[in-house]
Chain A
Amino acid sequence: MDLSALLTVGQTALELGLICSLTVLALFLSYSMLNVCDLSTDGCFTLGAAVGAVVAAAGHPLLSIPAAMLAGVCSGLVTALLQTKFGINSLLSGIIVNTGLYSVNIAVMAGSAQINLNKADTVFTMVKDLLAGTPLAGQSTTVVAAVAVILTVAFLTLFLNTRLGLAIRATGNNPDMVRSSSINPVFTTIVGLCVANAFTGLSGCLMAQSQKMAEINIGGGMVTIALASLLIGSTLMGRGGIFTRAVGMVVGAFIFRLVYAVALRLDVLPAFMLKLISSVIVALAIALPYLKEQWPTVSRRLSYKKAAAGRGGN
């Protein structure tokens, strides 16, 4: 692989990593802070893509961003209400919303399974025009995604250090404490999931516009891919303040995409392996600490059996 090919691979990984890191940041809020595994992420990502594409195709590329985020908020609100007000288990709430969103997403795209944006203005084409003639010309995707990521990281750093942000973190960190405090966990869960899903929607919106197409399966497996990035990020930069950890999420997303892109480029793996790899990463990252904890017991049992066999016992 020559240098220019390497750069192309790096570029793609950077663009995809930045766009997907918005979903990782969403999970940073819902999964790491609120301790809710939001399984509606796939559907919400597609919802953001669909809403954003429809609005952009109608000639309002700038409006597509708040529209997609608002759609994400609505999706998050439904998931949150199901688990806080209707007594539905949080995993199940996510799955229910995810399933329902499939129909909603097709309805948003006017009954079709995809929307083509080849001829439409998108935020990326707008920025491309703006950057024409500057040193950053040709980098419009990276620039737009980077601005979105920087704003999101800044927002999360500020937000999670407000009183509301602290209350949201406490809700996930020690539910017992929150139950006997003046924090209303219903309120914090609702706010947390709404904000998180706004970023998932934004992520989907930018993904669709950057590849000039929204389709019904664009968000498939996104929750696992984002979790894999999140776990890589928190392994590398999991200690420290909110800012460090949020930056870690972006780094995790980039590393995940980079490793994957290189493997793809070198023909180590076919493209369809992406989802298996992310599943394996997530499973391993969560299982390893548990296995490490179990190891002393297992090793004691093994040595005990060995000794017993040595004594001729059973």
Chain B
Amino acid sequence: MLNITHISKTFNPGTVNEKKAITDLSLHLAPGDFVTIIGSNGAGKSTLFNAVCGDFLTDQGSIVLNGQDITFMPAFKRAKHIGRLFQDPMRGSAPGMTIEENLALAAGSGGWFSHMSQKDKKRFRDRLALLDMGLEDRMRQPVGLLSGGQRQALTLLMATMNPPWLLLLDEHTAALDPGTAEKVLKLTRDIVAEHHITTMMVTHNMKQALELGNRTLMMAEGNVVLDVSGKERAGMTVDDLLRRFKAGTGKDLDNDRILLSE
């Protein structure tokens, strides 16, 4: 589904602020893979997502998504097939527009001059009801009135309205309170399973990283240092993971958020 071959990215090359964000990274994702990613601060997790989404062009290497070479494709074209959620719940929806308008924008059915049909509204209503947040009765209210958790759930719905080839979740529950985070996570799991969406999820919760999905990556200094799946991953504990990380990089994992969470 996703083939990343030897990509590199250096920011501010040749200056004192030079930062090798990604160094010769290769990664292959099979269709339906649900990959969790953990790593130190500045390991390149978000940069990897940015590279896949086309926020910048890589210095070297190629990215192929579902057989299509997207290495030089502009971000807005890639976004048709890549759904993306950020940590900030405010980033994914337009607060001044109503819930149904946001969904219509995400659904993107019909041409530029098409209007929202009754059928569309019915579909939005059914999807919203799945969230179990009462949003289906507030479809004409501006999104700005929703709580962070509700907005993140809505964003998830928007990103998967037309199931994307690839779903990228960048700590999308980190800014939510524990109860809401749990709920959004369950929704994520359900929606991904329902549509068999190939997914990558960055998390700072090691336990979660091992529980969710079928594969776990650890990143450090712009590359993948540990890639476990299948049987090897099934019996793994958080301690095993930390030990393997140290063995792989020669360093302790220095992510304050990881260490502070259980």
CB contact under 8 A between A182 and B110, given known A173-B95, A177-B92, A177-B93: no
The answer to whether A162 has its CB under 8 Å from any CB of chain B is yes
Neighbouring A residues of B80 by C-beta, 8 Å: 182
B231 within 8 Å of A by Cβ?
A: no
In this assembly, does B75 line the interface, its C-beta being within 8 Å of a C-beta of chain A?
yes
In the complex with contacts A173-B94, A174-B93, A174-B94, A182-B112 CB distance below 8 A: no
Shortest distance from the beta carbon of B213 to any chain A beta carbon, whole Å = 22
Verify A162–B113 contact, CB threshold 8 A.
yes
Select which of A163, A181, A182, A184 is within 8 A of B104 by beta carbon. A163
Given A162-B115, A163-B113, decide whether A180 and B75 contact each other with a Cβ distance below 8 A: yes
Return the CB mask of A170-195 against B: 1 if under 8 Å, else 0.
10011011011111110000000000
Whether the Cβ atoms of B76 and A182 lie closer than 8 Å is: yes
Main DSSP-derived SS at the B contact region: loop
A182 and B79 contact, Cβ closer than 8 Å, known pairs A162-B114, A163-B104: yes
Residue of A nearest to B91 (CB): A176
When the two chains form their complex, are residues A170 and B110 in contact, meaning their CB atoms are under 8 A apart?
Answer: no
Q: Does A257 contact B (CB under 8 A)?
A: no
User: Is A283's beta carbon under 8 Å from chain B?
Assistant: no
Given A180-B53, A180-B79: A170 and B94 within 8 A (CB)?
A: yes
Q: Does A103 contact B (CB under 8 A)?
A: no
Tell me if A's interface is mostly helix, strand, loop or mixed.
helix
Q: Is the CB of B105 within 8 A of A170?
A: yes
- State which residues 41-100 of B face A: CB under 8 Å: 53, 55, 74-77, 79-80, 84, 86, 90-97
Say if the beta carbon of A132 comes within 8 Å of chain B: no
Q: Does A161 contact B (CB under 8 A)?
A: yes
Q: Restricting to B144-167, which residues have a CB under 8 Å from any CB of A? A: none
Determine the chain A residues whose CB is within 8 A of the CB of B111 once the complex forms. 163
Closest residue of chain B to A183, judged by CB? B76
In the bound complex, how far is the Cα of B75 from the Cα of A166, in angstroms? 19
B116 at the interface (CB under 8 A from A): yes
Q: Are A181 and B79 in contact (CB under 8 A)?
A: yes
A39 to B115, CA, bound (A): 31
Is A163 in contact with B112, judged by CB distance below 8 angstroms?
Answer: yes
A183: B residues at CB distance < 8 A: 76, 105
Q: Is B101 an interface residue (CB 8 A)?
A: yes
**Closest Cβ neighbor of A186 among chain B residues:** B76
Q: Which residues of B contact A158 (CB under 8 A)?
A: 115
Summed over the interface, the residue pairs from A and B with CB atoms below 8 Å come to a total of 69
Chain B hits for A184, CB < 8 A: 74, 76
Which A residues between 152 and 169 are near B, CB-CB below 8 angstroms?
158, 161-164, 166-167, 169
Q: Is B248 among interface residues, defined by CB-CB distance under 8 A?
A: no
Query: Are A164 and B93 also in contact (CB < 8 A) when A182-B77, A182-B79 are?
Result: no
Distance, CA A182 to CA B110, complexed state (A): 14
In the complex, chain B residues whose CB is within 8 Å of the CB of A170: 94, 97, 102, 105
Cα A182 to Cα B84 in complex, Å, equals: 11
A246-B101 Cα distance, complex, nearest whole Å? 18
Report yes or no: A174 in contact with B95, Cβ–Cβ below 8 A: yes
Q: Which residues from B are CB-within-8-Å of A161?
A: 115-116
> Do the beta carbons of B76 and A177 come within 8 Å of each other?
no
Q: Name the interface residues of A88-127: CB closer than 8 Å to any CB of B.
A: none
Knowing A163-B108, A182-B77, A183-B76 are in contact, say whether A173-B116 is a contact too (CB < 8 A): no
Chain A residues within 8 Å of B, Cβ to Cβ:
158, 161-164, 166-167, 169-170, 173-174, 176-177, 179-185
Residue contacts A-B, CB under 8 angstroms, 29 given: A162-B113, A163-B104, A163-B105, A164-B113, A166-B97, A166-B105, A167-B105, A170-B94, A170-B102, A170-B105, A173-B96, A174-B91, A174-B95, A176-B91, A177-B91, A180-B53, A180-B79, A180-B86, A180-B91, A181-B79, A181-B105, A182-B77, A182-B79, A182-B80, A182-B108, A183-B76, A183-B105, A184-B76, A185-B76
Given A169-B94, A174-B95, 12 other A-B residues pairs in contact with their CB atoms under 8 A: A162-B114, A164-B113, A166-B104, A167-B105, A169-B101, A174-B90, A174-B94, A179-B55, A180-B53, A181-B106, A182-B108, A183-B105
